[in-house]
Amino acid sequence: MRILLSPDATGAGVAAAAVIASSLGDRPAPVLGVATGSSPQPLYRALADRVQAGLDLARATAFALDEYVGLPVDHPESYHSVIAREVIGPLGLDPSRVHVPEGVSADPVAAAARYEALIAAAGGVDLQILGIGANGHIGFNEPGSVPDSRTRVVDLAPRTVADNSRFFDGDAGLVPTRALTQGIGTILESREIVLIAWGESKADAVARAVEGPQTAELPASFLQRHDRVTLVLDAAAASRLSSASLPVDAGR
Ligand code: GLP
């Protein structure tokens, strides 16, 4: 895994946007995988600056990683709403090319299969943006998720419900307990992955993802299987990595 270090979250966002812009090059219609949560917000702000400066994503297709099950699409914290607010608008995406799992479907199992088919029909994901949960989840692949898992309905870990209660007025009772998420296997099929993490609360998960054994107990550790992963970290998120994992010029 390639690791890029920035002093703070804003810098990590700028660095991650630079990686993405360079990877997309002048590809006219890339397929992006987009994450929600607080982690990618600095990245989306930096990418939005690039769009203002001329980066054209109007023909990009995008697939969100996940969505809560049962949360109305128009709830402000549904990932449909978050993606519209933080991704589609700022990045100038065409809403008709942006897909989010149908968490309100009466048949979420069928919705999961449809989502996999949509990704395949788009030719797969060129570049997947990821955050990481404090418990090492990616998307909503909680501990216990196996590396060949596909898009499916999952139960959220108590830690994730507690962590995400900040988006629901601090009330864990308002956080949905199930989600539809792309699987680890789905994520690993994307051609390139950029994971952004910042803050001390992610330091342990980052260190275990990079240096620990590949284990379902820490789903992000399966990213070690992918040969094009860039982790963009701030100093706090990188603070528990051994020096052997850090870029040679880190700290100079
Ligand atoms: C959320 C999302 C993930 C995200 C992770 C970390 O609940 N489902 O896609 O990467 O958990 O969240 P945050 O970035 O807010 O810390």
Going from the Cα of 162 to the center of ligand 1, the distance in angstroms, rounded, reads 12
130-166 pLDDT per residue, tens: 999 999 999 999 999 999 999 999 999 999 999 999 9
Rounded percentage of the chain residues whose pLDDT exceeds 70: 99
Neighbouring C-beta atoms of residue 26, cutoff 10 Å: 6
Q: Are 206 and 234 contacting, i.e. CB atoms less than 8 angstroms apart?
A: no
Question: Tell me, what DSSP letter sits at residue 31?
Answer: E
List the structure tokens of 36. 């929600």
Q: Would you state the pLDDT for residue 189?
A: 98
Question: What is the sign, positive or negative, of the torsion defined by CA atoms of 11, 16, 18, 19?
Answer: positive
Q: Give residue-wise pLDDT tens across range 201-228.
A: 999 999 999 999 999 999 999 999 999 9
What mean pLDDT is predicted for residues 2-8?
97
Other beta carbons within 10 angstroms of residue 14's beta carbon come to 19
CB 117 within 8 A of CB 181: no
- Report the alpha-carbon distance of residue 103 to residue 74 in Å, rounded: 12
Neighbours of 231 (CB within 10 A): 27
| pLDDT higher than threshold 90 for residue 252 | no
Output the ligand 1 site: residues, CB below 6 A.
35-39, 65-66, 131-133, 139-140, 160, 164
Q: Would you state the pLDDT for residue 27?
A: 87
Confidence of residue 250 (pLDDT cuts 50, 70, 90): low
Question: Pick the catalytic residue: 135, 141, 163, 234?
Answer: 135
The tokens describing 6, both together, are 């920035």
Q: What are phi and psi of 184, to 5 degrees?
A: -65, -40
Q: How many residues does the chain have?
A: 252
Q: Supply the pLDDT for residue 243.
A: 86
Rounded Cα–Cα distance for residues 176 and 69 (Å): 7
From 16, 187, 182, select the one nearest 99 (Cα to Cα): 182
Do 130 and 186 form a contact (C-beta atoms < 8 A)? Answer: no
pLDDT per residue as tens digits for the range 12-47: 999 999 999 999 987 889 999 999 999 999 999 999
Which listed residue (80, 86, 126, 137) is catalytic?
Answer: 137
| Other CB atoms within 10 Å distance of the CB of residue 224 | 15
Q: Could you confirm whether 164 is annotated as catalytic?
A: no
